[in-house]
Amino acid sequence: MFKTSRKNGNFYLAIAVMMMAILFYSSSQTYEQQSQLSNLSHWLKNQPFKEFLSNIHFAYAGKVISIERLGYFSFVEFFIRKAAHFTTYFILGGSLFLGLSARVKEWWIAAPFSVLAALGYAASDEFHQMLTGGRTPLFQDVMLDGAGALCAVVLIFIVKKIAKK
């Protein structure tokens, strides 16, 4: 269905490997090494949209997420961290799908394999975080990662299908 050259497939697989290396490095850092609270307090010193954001509260991994509970900067950092989860696995899943599509002509094999491979890597990444001090592995993060990979595969499939017509 997709006409991607082997050369382009190798390029996309290289992106996937690079993303996996970045994720491995990132999960070997402690929370303190990754924290952006000091930068956020500098960049957002006026706490923009605080009133609006104060109305948002929900449960994630059994904890209440709100400005009242976390404070403004930790609340904003929570969304940045979760967006990073989604985005990095969006890139990983999409690049795996594009790379595999160049080698395996059946999209229905490449698509689920790409999502499942990204999910497997997400689970192993959370296990790696468990071995790193000051980090907490979360099943919810694995599901968020999987959602990122699935969205990439579905979006690529739709775009390629439209472009083919």
Q: What is the DSSP string of 32-69?
A: HHH--HHHHHHHTTT-TTHHHHTT-EEEETTEEEEHHH
- Predicted confidence at residue 5, as pLDDT, reads 63
Q: pLDDT-derived band of residue 134, with 50, 70 and 90 as boundaries?
A: confident
Of 7-11, 25-29, 33-37, 120-124, which gets the smallest average pLDDT? 7-11
DSSP assignment, residue 1? -
Residue 20 has pLDDT above 90, yes or no: yes
Percent of the chain with pLDDT over 70: 96
- Contact between 81 and 145 (Cβ < 8 Å): no
| Tokens representing residue 40 in the block | 């956020």
**pLDDT tens-digit readout, 83-125:** 999 999 999 999 999 999 988 888 899 999 999 999 999 999 9
Task: Record the pTM.
Answer: 0.91
Q: In Å, how far from its chain's centre is CA 36? A: 18
Strand, helix or coil for residue 105: coil
Residue 77 has pLDDT above 60, yes or no: yes
- Contact between 113 and 74 (Cβ < 8 Å): no
CA distance linking residue 130 with residue 32, whole number of Å: 15
